[in-house]
Amino acid sequence: MLDYAGQNRCATKWLLEYPERRLDFLDRMGEFTALSATKLTGMPMGTDVGRPVESLGLSLARLEDTRLWITTIEDTEKSLGEKKLAFLNVRRWVHRQQQEVGNTEKGRPGWVDESQARYADWFYRRYGRANCPDPKTMTRWWDEIVNVAVRIAIARGCSFQK
């Protein structure tokens, strides 16, 4: 049975944490590039645990899944218009702020009001006129963005595991 809610949760996490995860991915790619320059004999060295080739293979598989998700989020962003892309960036900013204060977003979504205010500010600075979308509009936009990301992820073969 398909777990639509799980797919949405996974895509939401990737959409919100994309900038940080992309930087982490680039750091790990650098580590693998440096590692590929060394001789790997398959034998444990120093304080390494056994099965280094297996460990390396699993790490590369996780790295490949991360690469798929990163390109999925980038393609999702390319599919968005200017206003929805601005909304996504505002939503990410609000998410980071909530994470810093320890808000776990249980119950009513706490991101809506703050995102609404930040988006209205962006819209005024960009277009010179006021536009404050309804909270239902904000949640509808978010659902649409998540749905696009899920569809692209499924087409790419991304893993929806935690």
Burial class (CB in 10 A: 0-12, 13-18, 19+), 125: exposed
Mean per-residue pLDDT of the chain = 84
In one letter, which amino acid is 54? E
Concatenate the DSSP letters of all residues of 42-86 into one string: SS--TTPPS-HHHHHHHHHHHHHHHHHHHHHHHHHHHHS-HHHHH
Residue 52, pLDDT > 70, answer no
61 pLDDT more than 90: no
CB atoms within 10 A of CB 20: 12
For 78-120, how does the pLDDT look when each residue is reduced to its tens digit (9 = 90+)? 999 999 999 999 999 999 988 887 765 555 578 899 999 999 9
79, 80, 85, 89: CA torsion to nearest 10: -50
Q: Could you give phi then psi for residue 61, rounded to 5 degrees?
A: -65, -45
Task: Give residue 62's pLDDT band: very low, low, confident or very high (50, 70, 90).
Answer: confident
Provide the pLDDT for residue 37. Answer: 46
| Between residues 62 and 70, the one the model is more confident about | 70
- The residue ranking higher by pLDDT, 105 or 73, is 73
The radius of gyration of the chain's CA atoms, rounded to the nearest angstrom, is: 20
Instruction: Select the more confidently predicted residue: 47 or 12.
Output: 12
Q: Of the given ranges (26-35, 91-100, 136-145, 152-161), which has the lowest mean pLDDT? A: 26-35
Question: In this predicted structure, what is the pLDDT of residue 25?
Answer: 87
Q: Give tens-digit pLDDT for 6-36.
A: 999 999 999 999 999 999 888 887 766 555 5
d(CA 147, CA 150): 5
Q: In Å, how far from its chain's centre is CA 109?
A: 18
Distance of CA 119 to the CA centre of its chain: 20
| Mean pLDDT of the region 70-83 | 96
Question: Would you say residue 123 has pLDDT above 50?
Answer: yes
